[in-house]
Amino acid sequence: MEHQLAVCRGGHDMNRLEPKTVRRRFIEALGRAIHVTWPVLSATIAIQLALGLLTGFVEGWSVGDAVYFTFITGLTIGYGDLIPRQTLTRALAIVIGFSGLFVTGVITAIAVHAMRSALTDGGSGGERS
């Protein structure tokens, strides 16, 4: 009778993970996934910065403004306070924006993978021994 009451109250306590365990597994899986994808992420961000610095040089902006423009464009925020005027720099801004979408997608995929790993397979990251 007590078992039936536990089930009626949502009593899946045997299979439920503690929040602390889920957090630990998530952080571990997140660390592994970032370690694996770091070369791609860092190369993409470096290319974005190089393109942003080139844009800033061609447009006559300061280095600070060029870096600011790179991240604002890469994150697809686009405040509009710095606007590339030349055809080349506009094309570079488009490349920075698309690469920013790629970086955002990879980071989102890493977080989803880490959460799935934390909730399903004990945070092993899906690797098989």
Kindly list the structural domains of the chain, giving each domain's residue range(s) and its CATH number in brackets, ordered by start.
16-120 (1.10.287.70)
Span 1-39, pLDDT tens digits: 444 444 445 555 557 888 999 999 999 999 999 999 999
As a whole number of angstroms, the distance between CA 19 and CA 1 comes to: 28
Give the pLDDT confidence of 81-123 residue by residue, as tens digits. Answer: 999 999 999 999 999 999 999 999 999 999 999 999 999 865 5
The structure tokens listed for 78 are 């686009």
Apex 97 CA angle, 93 and 102, nearest 5: 145
Regarding pTM above 0.85, the answer is: no
**Which residue type does 10 have?**
G
SS3 40: helix
How big is the chain by its Cα radius of gyration, in Å?
A: 22
Cα separation, 16 vs 95, in Å, equals 45
